[in-house]
A and B are shown apart, each in its own frame.
Chain A
Amino acid sequence: MATLNLSASRFRQFLPYLSAAAATFLILALITGTLLGANFIPSLEAYDATRTITEQVSFGWAVRGLHWWSSSLALVCSLTFTALAYWFGYFRGPARWLWWSGLVLGLMLLGANVTGYYLPLDQNAYWRLSIEANLFNEVPILGSAIKNFLLGGASITDASIARINWLHSLILPLFVTLALGCHVYAARKAKLF
């Protein structure tokens, strides 16, 4: 038990800074994402909509850039949290729910980053969507079902972008918020604050 207490106190030293930064990035991503949603058109014309946001909408470039960078940096914070929790052995006993909820949260942040990358539908996004959807197609039995779910059909159409936009701007933020609530509750239960 002594080692656990020691690692807990070491782990606790980083917490206020790292969690404040992570919360800032998440809130920033949520705000800028809401703003981007006002001008984004989830269809195969998504590229033109992104171009308009970046070049014509007032401060559109800043909102898009902040959304891009805050989501990337939130993922960096999540990875740092995971690395620190592992380094200080803070995943056993009362902290195990913190570890599990944190992993779920991190995976959903990864999912949000990946789906967000597809949405501008430029050359890179289109081909990555195509490559990664075909990668999931390799999974035995469930493969084609996963691909159909992600693309809203067998190939990339308006429906695919609408589906990915739905995942990115409704489902993932909702579940990230829920998981974050569980994560903070688990931290409270583990007496981290």
Chain B
Amino acid sequence: MFTQQEKQNSSEVLAPTGRLNTGYFDVAVAVFTALGVALVLTVLEPPRLVDAFDMFATPEVLPEWYMLPAFFIIKSLPSKLIGLALMGGVVGSLFLLPFLPEGKRLPGGRFLGRAAFVAIHAVVVTFGFLSLQ
């Protein structure tokens, strides 16, 4: 029915060069999803406001989720100083990561790196849950 040339011409008309960039659409979806998540969480789980502080009380204080693993490390080590040094060491070693030699020359290569990734994340999450106990 159509020759190849006609097909090409018709598709050019249907999809002109100045059409909407779908990349912007994706980003807009991400932005509105983010806003929606924040709104839903605000309504369903509003931030706590417990009693006014009392200097003479001795309440059971649990830190926020992002501090739970650190809390567990400090709680389970004999001295707070060791815990602090360990945490400083972890952050410091993240800064030194770009100086790590390329993985290909190591035995195990890429696999070792990925195993370390899974292990580190699993351990951190476990520490967090352990301090909830």
Decide if B84 touches A86 in the complex (CB within 8 Å): no
The interface-forming segment of A62-70, A163-171, A175-183, A184-192 is A62-70
Decide if B95 touches A100 in the complex (CB within 8 Å): yes
Closest CB of chain A to B68's CB: distance in Å? 13
Instruction: Kindly list chain B residues whose C-beta atoms are within 8 Å of the C-beta of A122.
Output: 48-53
- The distance in angstroms between the C-alpha atoms of A107 and B94, with both chains bound, is 12
Instruction: Kindly list chain B residues whose C-beta atoms are within 8 Å of the C-beta of A114.
Output: 67
Decide if B34 touches A125 in the complex (CB within 8 Å): no
Decide if A24 touches B41 in the complex (CB within 8 Å): no
Closest CB of chain A to B86's CB: distance in Å? 13
Decide if A66 touches B51 in the complex (CB within 8 Å): no
Judged by a CB distance under 8 angstroms, whether B108 is at the interface is no
Give the size of the chain B interface in residues (CB under 8 angstroms): 52
Judged by a CB distance under 8 angstroms, whether A11 is at the interface is no
Decide if B84 touches A16 in the complex (CB within 8 Å): no
Decide if A25 touches B38 in the complex (CB within 8 Å): yes
- The distance in angstroms between the C-alpha atoms of A117 and B41, with both chains bound, is 17
Q: Which residues of A129-181 are within 8 A (CB) of B?
A: 131, 135, 138-140
Instruction: Kindly list chain B residues whose C-beta atoms are within 8 Å of the C-beta of A20.
Output: 27, 30-31, 34
Closest CB of chain A to B97's CB: distance in Å? 5
Instruction: Kindly list chain B residues whose C-beta atoms are within 8 Å of the C-beta of A62.
Output: 42
Q: Quick one: CB contact mask for A7-44 with B, threshold 8 Å, 1 for yes? A: 00000000011101101110010000000000000000
Decide if A127 touches B42 in the complex (CB within 8 Å): no
Judged by a CB distance under 8 angstroms, whether B102 is at the interface is yes
Closest CB of chain B to A179's CB: distance in Å? 14
Instruction: Kindly list chain B residues whose C-beta atoms are within 8 Å of the C-beta of A69.
Output: 37-38, 41-42, 45, 47
Closest CB of chain A to B20's CB: distance in Å? 16
Q: Which residues of B24-48 are within 8 A (CB) of A?
A: 26-27, 30-31, 33-35, 37-39, 41-43, 45-48
Decide if B98 touches A92 in the complex (CB within 8 Å): yes
Decide if B97 touches A86 in the complex (CB within 8 Å): yes
Q: Which residues of B contact A (CB under 8 A)?
A: 23, 26-27, 30-31, 33-35, 37-39, 41-43, 45-55, 57, 59, 61-67, 74, 79-81, 84, 91, 94-95, 97-98, 100, 102-104, 113-114, 117, 121
